[in-house]
Amino acid sequence: MFNKILIANRGEIAVRIIRACKELGERTVAVFSEEDRDALHTRLADGALCIGPANSADSYLNVSSIISAVEIADAGALHPGYGFLSENAAFAEVCENSGVKFIGPTSQIIRLMGNKVSAKKEAERAGVPVLPWSEKPIEDEKEALEVSKKIGFPLIIKASSGGGGRGMKLVHTQAALASSFHLARREALSIFGDAEVFLEKYCIKPRHIEIQILADEHGNVIHLGERECSIQRRHQKILEEAPSLFVDPKLREKMGDASVKLCKAIGYVGVGTIEYLVDEDKKFYFMEMNTRVQVEHPVTEEVTGIDILKEQIKLAAGHKVLMKQKEVRFKGHSIECRINAEDPNTYVPSPGKITELYVPGGPGVRVDTAIYCNYKVPPHYDPMIAKLIVYAETRRDAIKKMTSALEEFHIEGIKTNIPLHLKIMKDHDYIAGDVTIDFLSRWS
């Protein structure tokens, strides 16, 4: 299709992409920082090019180095993975102008959906429900006060360019509004380089449930059901599953239809995810769209039997969506635990050398990772070092399988959050499916 694909990422997702490319008969070129010379993605790709020093700003986020690598490798396409440059519209535009196919939607769509204000407007236009909000960016505290009277407290101040669970401020009272507003703008500017914020109603104890989308350039869009992602720490997911116990077939159809409608309305092409908050009355509200493959895509792969990475590459090459909506079948239950190199109690990252490693296996156990024995987990990047994914006929069996796999997983030399995941697997509320976004904070 593309002859050669350059993978502008590292870690488990780079390895995952290389595997998908191999199965599709595509040659691969990895890029790596000086720190990642011995990384698995560097070794597994057909070729590899160094793009700069360890610091991501100088390597995995360095647009000119990556574009030079594309030219040297003569790659026909570039896969951005998740994180790094995957949702950077300016980078996608550079790819478009350099004649390399960016595996993802167009820069125009990334720009539209990457800004939370324009994305919400598109959702509203497509008839997808959103929480009461300011309906535009808020420029000063007077305006913030007026809007707060309309939407009420508690409310959340969000950075339009926010992401990764950062750039949000929860405000409980009118007295705290002005100071939170200024702080939110300052933080948004320093983290995202864009001070723009807006106000949104804060939903009490909702669930985070998202819909996976596949869309082709011929106008066909299907959804692959939902993922339950309510187990979060500081608004960052740490465990996901499919299906959600809370979603009945009727709600699945409604959320799926809304997501398909939105993608059709904006002319979306590729894989994507629409994220929703769902309240206790099963009302759902559009939160944002991720225009890339997500960390948690494997749970959907497990319950649908569809290889999302391979489909993503095929869609980028102009292929049609592989099946019709009514042909999508859901079977069994899948759970994913994000294994992080961090202290399970303090959450402080724990980089260093892995001195002993035993990876769990057996039927229904999948480990997506780039670590190996004697590998040194660098301190420069995301602390997630593996994804442990299980599949079983029922949720009950999936929990048992995950417990046993977590107990088998043996990583020496660094600390990991495996004990935290084991605690979740044994938690009565978790077992009962009583999971809302405050789940982990109930423990502290």
- 58 by Cβ neighbours in 10 Å (0-12 / 13-18 / 19+) ranks as middle
Which of the 8 DSSP states describes residue 280? T
Which CB sits closer to ligand ADP, 123 or 354?
A: 123
Q: Distance between alpha carbon 4 and the CA centroid of its chain, in Å?
A: 25
Helix ranges (H only) for 200-248 are: none
Minimum CB separation of residue 340 from ligand ADP in Å reads: 17
CB contact set of 326 (below 8 Å; sequence gap of 6+): none
The catalytic residue among 16, 111, 227, 292 is: 292
CA distances from 61 to 8, 21, 36, 164 (A): 9, 23, 14, 16
Q: Near ligand ADP by CB under 6 A, which window of 6-14, 142-150, 203-211, 331-339? A: 203-211
Q: Near ligand ADP by CB under 6 A, which window of 13-21, 199-207, 217-225, 401-409? A: 199-207
Minimum CB separation of residue 54 from ligand ADP in Å reads: 25
Q: Which residues pair with 37 in a beta bridge?
A: none
| Annotation marks residue 227 as catalytic | no
Q: Which of 12, 122, 187, 200 binds ligand ADP (CB under 6 A)?
A: 200
Collapse the DSSP code of 15 into the 3-class scheme (helix H, G, I; strand E, B; otherwise coil) and give the result: helix
Minimum CB separation of residue 277 from ligand ADP in Å reads: 6
State phi, psi for 231 to the nearest 5 degrees.
Answer: -80, 105
Q: Which residues pair with 231 in a beta bridge?
A: 239
Which CB sits closer to ligand ADP, 8 or 156?
A: 156
Q: Which of 49, 103, 131, 316 binds ligand ADP (CB under 6 A)?
A: 131
Determine contact, residues 271/212, Cβ cutoff 8 Å: yes
Minimum CB separation of residue 267 from ligand ADP in Å reads: 22
For 194, the token pair is 């864009």
- Asked whether position 240 contacts ligand ADP by CB under 6 A, the answer is no
Which CB sits closer to ligand ADP, 237 or 310?
A: 237
For 254, the token pair is 């409604």
Minimum CB separation of residue 311 from ligand ADP in Å reads: 24
Give the other-Cβ count within 10 Å of 355's Cβ.
12
What mask of x and - would describe binding to ligand ADP in positions 270 to 299, judged by CB under 6 A?
-----x-x---------xx-----------
Which CB sits closer to ligand ADP, 233 or 376?
A: 233
Which of the 8 DSSP states describes residue 349? B
Which CB sits closer to ligand ADP, 107 or 115?
A: 115
Q: Near ligand ADP by CB under 6 A, which window of 55-63, 92-100, 178-186, 201-209? A: 201-209
Q: Specify whether the backbone of 18 is left (phi greater than 0), alpha (psi in -120 to 50) or beta.
A: alpha
Cα 24 from Cα 18, distance rounded (Å): 10
Query: What part of residues 144-173 is at the interface with ligand ADP (CB under 6 A)?
Result: 156, 162-166
Question: Considering CB under 6 A, how many residues would be counted as binding ligand ADP?
Answer: 19
Which CB sits closer to ligand ADP, 66 or 89?
A: 89
Which CB sits closer to ligand ADP, 36 or 336?
A: 336
Q: Near ligand ADP by CB under 6 A, which window of 63-71, 200-208, 322-330, 428-436? A: 200-208
Query: What part of residues 205-234 is at the interface with ligand ADP (CB under 6 A)?
Result: 206, 208, 232
Minimum CB separation of residue 229 from ligand ADP in Å reads: 7
Minimum CB separation of residue 193 from ligand ADP in Å reads: 15
Minimum CB separation of residue 431 from ligand ADP in Å reads: 21
Determine contact, residues 174/150, Cβ cutoff 8 Å: no
Which CB sits closer to ligand ADP, 96 or 124?
A: 124
Write the DSSP assignment of 149-213 as a string of letters.
HHH-SSEEEEEEEEETTEEEEEE-SGGGHHHHHHHHHHHHHHHHS---EEEEEPPSS-EEEEEEE
Closest by CA to 246, choosing from 5, 59, 432, 91, is: 432
Catalytic site residues?
Answer: 292
User: Which residues are at the interface with ligand ADP (CB under 6 A)?
Assistant: 131, 156, 162-166, 200, 202-203, 206, 208, 232, 235, 275, 277, 287-288, 437
